[in-house]
Structure 1
Amino acid sequence: MSLTLLEQSWRDEPAPQLISHLLTRYHARHREQLPELVRLARRVEQVHGTHAHCPDGLADLLTDMQQELESHMCKEEHVLFPLLQQGFGARAAPPIQVMLFEHDQHAQALDKLLALTHGCTPPVDACHTWRTLYDGLQAFHDDLVQHIHLENNVLFANALNPAR
């Protein structure tokens, strides 16, 4: 099995260091990204609602994603991560299973986001706000994919299989 560069750089790090990275690089970042993306999406939908490529429903999807991610991240921060930081890896299997299920739900939401935005590709005649929104959506998408990947394939895998 080939490891990605991202996995290789974190595979052998202790859980507390990886968790600290996840909190600062991804949790904090998502909390910064989503309110602005919701604001921009509402603006684009309001101004360009009659445009054939307007991502109708995007602001609502992002609002739902923001609520789901906030709930998810709070569970990680207050339940799962403390268990992993204290070395209870294998005994954290039940909350890890919940997080894996929720990660699948986040991936489905990202699929909807890509479908609504034609892969985060603005129309040729898109205004600056629309282009800024799609650039931000692409960054959010990439960040969330990396975030989920690190948790699933490094943090959780190491916790459940400490000998690997």
Structure 2
Amino acid sequence: MWHEPEEQQARAIPADQDEPDRTVEHPAEGQSATTPEAQGVSGPEAAAEASAVSSERLPGKPPGVPSAAGSPVAGEGRTQRTRPAAMEEALRRLQEVVLELREIIEDLEEAAELLDMAVEQKEEMNRELDRLNRLLNQLQRPREGQRGGGGGR
């Protein structure tokens, strides 16, 4: 791959011969030298300029091959129209997923509460069983004592 020196890369590439030169010596920070914003163009004029900028080409490339510098986003005009719809759809799906996850969390919290109640009931039943076993053992001891003592008569 052929690389230009940094100094040459920093300069803007002029448009085709039949288009006016839209290059700017020192564009505002974050703007390409050939963007409509760098040239002070906004609104509908900016959209027209953006589509014209995307048709720029690099020196040495055939006229049908657009330059990478001229089109910051592939298919800029189409992408700008479809991106908001795609983003809206993605946001809508994300909101649906968030709502579903919240419902799942609520269900899990409810299930956890039910499990806690079940554990408490089980512990209470175990305590009751232990108490009943102790009572049963107490009732069985005197009978054993009476049997053992009564057999010696």
TM-score computed with the length of structure 1 as normaliser: 0.26
- Structure with bigger gyration radius: 2
Tell me which protein shows more helix as a share of its residues.
1
- Tell me: higher relative CO, structure 1 or 2? Use CA pairs within 8 A at least 6 residues apart: 1
TM-score computed with the length of structure 2 as normaliser: 0.27
